[in-house]
Amino acid sequence: MICCGIDWAEKQHDVALVDDTGQLLAKRRISDDAVGYRLLLDLLAEYGDTEEDPIPIAIETSRGLLVAALRQGKRKVFAINPMAAARYRDRHGVSRKKSDPGDALVLANILRTDMPMHRPLPNDTDLARAIAVLARAQQDATWNRQQIANQLRSLLREYYPAALDAFAGWQNGLCRPEARELLKTAPTPAEAARLTRAQLRSALKRAGRCRGIEAEAERLRDILRGDYASQPRLVEEALGKQALALLRQLEAACLAADELTEAVEASFLQHPDAEVILSFPGLGVQLGARVLAEIGDDRQRFADARGMKAYAGSAPVTRASGKKHHVGRRMVKNDRLNHAGYLWAFSALRSSPGADAHYRRRREQGDWHAAAQRHLFNRLIGQLYHCLHTGEPFDEHVGFPSQLAAAA
């Protein structure tokens, strides 16, 4: 058996091939372009790489054009964690000096000695991988939007508390078009106090509001003309300019999040697993797309439901040493899937009587809120594994039979 290791870099990559005895067969440095990829494929073919029996490859990343070129066909590509590769490096020397050709050799030897201990990249379809790109980008855009909104809110607290009081009753607060339009119209309290009802109505209409404009304009006028403490005039104007700069960033983040949301919905609804995923309580299009993006559609990726639960971080981990025995939550997990699972379990409480009864039973047994949520997510993702493998939609009476009976 021949194994290949590739030390990935931005402009060039080091390649090493070893046989089953650990003998170095070949090493080469290739460029990060189409010419380099062809040289790599020619090198692999020279040592027996075929379409039916490809040489396995270890690399420290799961992304990029090089990985995309290597994943064509039946080839197994193993994404080795750089921290794990660093531990293996200590087996071959004590100086702890690092070199790119040496790292490529270490990666090849990892596959030679411990291939069963590592997982190859899943064989997901192109549509599932596209959904993963869009869903993760949408999640990042949502987090970025909230981060900028928090910065703007913190700034407004320093000089413009009337704006926060005016937007407090609106869902999504500063991220709403009405709030952004009003802040652009009047970035300082002095300018806001001079706004007339007609100007407020125009601002609300420009933001897309259609109903209740007259009453909302009256409410905003009363709040913006209220009695609040103020900064000196020059300081207030400077803070207003800073708020406008953050507001431009917030508008760009909101636009990006909205566009990615539409793209995720269009792609996710085309996937054959969407019907099964959307049948679960608490899973909508966006959250369902995030779950699909992390678990993929390769049915051979997880040996059983326990593997998927451990990957999501919902299953507990047991650690025993001597007389000590500890059962706790997992720290090493897929953070994106774990975050989606928390939202999933929280949403399922209102849409599923069985899920709500399961959560309340765990709370009565002494679990804290997060532990009960994690336990519910653990059960739901196990049911999702079963439904995806059988192609059956979720059934409330099958998923929570005892909880439904107790609730009745």
pLDDT one-digit tens code per residue, 257-298: 999 999 999 999 999 999 999 999 999 999 999 999 999 999
Given a cut of 90, is residue 101 above it in pLDDT? Answer: no
Given a cut of 60, is residue 126 above it in pLDDT? Answer: yes
pLDDT band at 11 (very low <50, low <70, confident <90, very high): confident
% pLDDT > 70, the chain: 97
Given a cut of 80, is residue 7 above it in pLDDT? Answer: yes
Please tell me the predicted confidence (pLDDT) of residue 99.
82
* Structure tokens belonging to residue 103: 């790292």
Q: What is the identity of the amino acid at 100?
A: D
Please tell me the predicted confidence (pLDDT) of residue 87.
85
Tens of pLDDT, residues 47-58 = 988 888 999 999
Checking DSSP bridges between strand 12-18 and strand 24-31, what pairing results, if any? antiparallel
The count of other CB atoms within 10 Å of the CB of residue 127 is: 16
The pTM of this model reads 0.87
Please tell me the predicted confidence (pLDDT) of residue 407.
58
Please tell me the predicted confidence (pLDDT) of residue 408.
58
**What single DSSP character describes residue 92?**
S
Our CA angle for 337, 341, 342, nearest 5°, is 125
Please tell me the predicted confidence (pLDDT) of residue 370.
92
Tens of pLDDT, residues 209-264 = 888 999 999 999 999 999 998 899 999 999 999 999 999 999 999 999 999 999 99
Please tell me the predicted confidence (pLDDT) of residue 403.
54
- Compute the distance between CA of residue 254 and CA of residue 271 in angstroms, rounded to an integer: 26
Given a cut of 70, is residue 406 above it in pLDDT? Answer: no
The rounded mean pLDDT for the chain is 91
Tell me how far CA of residue 117 lies from CA of 68, 110, 112, 120, 369, in angstroms. Answer: 23, 9, 11, 10, 35
Given a cut of 60, is residue 404 above it in pLDDT? Answer: no
Give the burial class of 339: count Cβ atoms within 10 A of its Cβ; 0-12 exposed, 13-18 middle, 19 or more buried: middle
The count of other CB atoms within 10 Å of the CB of residue 216 is: 17
Given a cut of 80, is residue 18 above it in pLDDT? Answer: yes
Please tell me the predicted confidence (pLDDT) of residue 322.
86
Please tell me the predicted confidence (pLDDT) of residue 147.
96
Tens of pLDDT, residues 20-41 = 998 999 999 999 898 999 999 9
Helix boundaries (H) for 27-125: 34-46, 65-70, 82-89, 100-114
Please tell me the predicted confidence (pLDDT) of residue 231.
93
325-336 burial, b at 16+ Cβ within 10 Å, e below that, comes to: eeeeebeebbeb
pLDDT band at 405 (very low <50, low <70, confident <90, very high): low
% pLDDT > 90, the chain: 74
Question: Region 112-130: what's the mean pLDDT?
Answer: 92
Place of tokens 């702890």: 96
Please tell me the predicted confidence (pLDDT) of residue 73.
82
Tens of pLDDT, residues 315-343 = 888 888 888 888 888 888 999 999 999 99
Please tell me the predicted confidence (pLDDT) of residue 387.
95
The count of other CB atoms within 10 Å of the CB of residue 122 is: 17
Please tell me the predicted confidence (pLDDT) of residue 72.
83
Please tell me the predicted confidence (pLDDT) of residue 173.
87
Tens of pLDDT, residues 152-185 = 999 999 999 999 999 988 888 899 999 999 999 9
Tens of pLDDT, residues 385-402 = 999 999 999 999 898 887
Helix (H, G, I), strand (E, B) or coil at 127: helix
Please tell me the predicted confidence (pLDDT) of residue 96.
67
* Structure tokens belonging to residue 382: 């196990």
Our CA angle for 209, 210, 215, nearest 5°, is 85
Please tell me the predicted confidence (pLDDT) of residue 318.
85
Dihedral, 25, 29, 32, 38 alpha carbons, nearest 10: -50
Residues 289 and 136 sit within 8 Å (Cβ to Cβ): no
